[in-house]
Amino acid sequence: MIRHIEEWRKWEAAQKADEPIDFDKNLRWYESALEYARALGAWPPADPMEGFEQKLAYIHRLHGLKNGIRIRREHGRPPDRRR
């Protein structure tokens, strides 16, 4: 838990401003994380399509929710769910 959140935010903003983005460093970090996942047997997944249907259904629900919020704001009523 961070006790002095405002001081932390100031430090964090200064840190981001002072440290330029280093693509090579980030790529090395990514490659080492991928190598570690392979060593643990966590990558590649045994079945890459596992859970795809659930993820797709979740995306569709999120998309519908987003559209429903937009429609309610424009028309002042909930969207028609009869489709």
36 shares a domain with 5: yes
Dihedral-angle region of residue 51 (phi above 0 means left; psi in -120 to 50 means alpha; beta otherwise): left
Read off the pTM: 0.44
Residues 6, 34: one domain? yes
Residue 35 sits in the same domain as residue 63:
no
How many domains does the chain contain in total?
2
Percent of the chain with pLDDT over 90: 40
The tokens describing 26, both together, are 């980030």
Specify the pLDDT at position 71. 52
pLDDT digits (tens, 9 = 90+) for 27-58: 999 999 999 999 999 988 889 899 999 998 89
CB 79 within 8 A of CB 68: yes
Provide the domain limits for residue 58: 47-83
> Cβ(37)–Cβ(43) under 8 Å?
yes
Q: Are residues 57 and 82 in the same domain?
A: yes
Over residues 58-78, the pLDDT tens digits come to 988 888 776 655 555 555 555
Q: How many helices (H) and strands (E) does the chain have?
A: 3, 0
Q: How much is the pLDDT for 2?
A: 83
Residue 32 and residue 8 share a domain: yes
Q: Is 16 in the same domain as 30?
A: yes
